[in-house]
Amino acid sequence: MKKVMVWLVLPVLLSLLIFRECMAGLVIEQVMKDKDGMASEVKIYFSGERLRTDHLQGGLTTIMDLREDRMVMIDHRSRSYVEVKFSQWEKEISGRLKQEGPAISPKTRKMTVRKTDETATINRFKVEKIEIFAGGELIEESWVTRDVEMEGIDKVMERAARGFEMNQEGREIHDKLKAYGFPVLVRDYAMSHGLGPVDVLEVKKIEKRELKDELFAPPAGYKKVIPEPPKK
């Protein structure tokens, strides 16, 4: 839900100008690790039905605007960007998965979530440990918080998950976890081959902030690249 800061001491004209330019939003700073243990910083911005993800080390930004049915992929190193309809992107991803389905889909495992009642404080967030099992095997632990109001973000996250090929198990984990809170620390057991959990995601900071519309648009001076149509 969009929240607009109410200006009580400024003239009405100035209030209207700021309302047009800024929308209250949420900024999440987190660190992610790949299967080789390489860490990368990621910043995520939410405002209404808009999402921006910055991969700082890679110099890449992705912008999703569900209301405008728009997705923008920006390469800051080459100062260029690609813009497509998000619904078309989803359709192409869905078609690709159907074509490759039997070859890439693993055997479906029963996913279960267990509340442990174990609590801690991580990066100033009060968190609770949730364990995720696949076919009876512990594959992940997620430390979740209710300290932050995340209303309205689920819709954007679910669309993003579909658009970026989250598999069936990933979607099921997301659906089961959201009832417990927002993940602050995620530890993966599957990728460590029995050597203990690997921290794959850690939220460092969550901040409510007014976000300008320019944040959800390509930077001025960047070149627009027209993508080639998919080969049939």
The residues spanned by each domain of the chain are: 12-224
**Which pLDDT does position 9 carry in this prediction?**
31
How distant, in Å, are the alpha carbons of 160, 161, 208 from that of 93? 12, 11, 32
**Which pLDDT does position 169 carry in this prediction?**
73
How distant, in Å, are the alpha carbons of 63, 179, 186 from that of 154? 16, 11, 18
The pTM is what? 0.75
**Which pLDDT does position 224 carry in this prediction?**
96
**SS3 category, 31:** strand
**SS3 category, 56:** coil
**Which pLDDT does position 68 carry in this prediction?**
93
12-224: CATH topology? outer membrane lipoprotein receptor (LolB), chain A (2.50.20)
**Which amino acid is located at 92 in the chain?**
E
**Which pLDDT does position 203 carry in this prediction?**
94
Return averaged pLDDT per consecutive 10 residues of the chain, 232 residues in all: 34 31 74 83 91 93 93 96 89 67 62 94 95 91 85 64 61 81 88 65 91 94 85 59
**Which pLDDT does position 232 carry in this prediction?**
57
**Which pLDDT does position 172 carry in this prediction?**
78
C-alpha–C-alpha distance, residues 42 and 127, integer Å: 21
C-alpha–C-alpha distance, residues 161 and 24, integer Å: 24
**SS3 category, 206:** strand
- Distance of alpha carbon 226 from its chain centroid, rounded? 25
**Which pLDDT does position 31 carry in this prediction?**
93
Q: Which two tokens stand for residue 184?
A: 């602050």
**Which pLDDT does position 90 carry in this prediction?**
78
Q: Which two tokens stand for residue 222?
A: 């960047």
**Which pLDDT does position 121 carry in this prediction?**
96
Q: Are 61 and 76 in contact (CB under 8 A)?
A: yes
Q: Which two tokens stand for residue 102?
A: 């039997």
**Which pLDDT does position 186 carry in this prediction?**
92
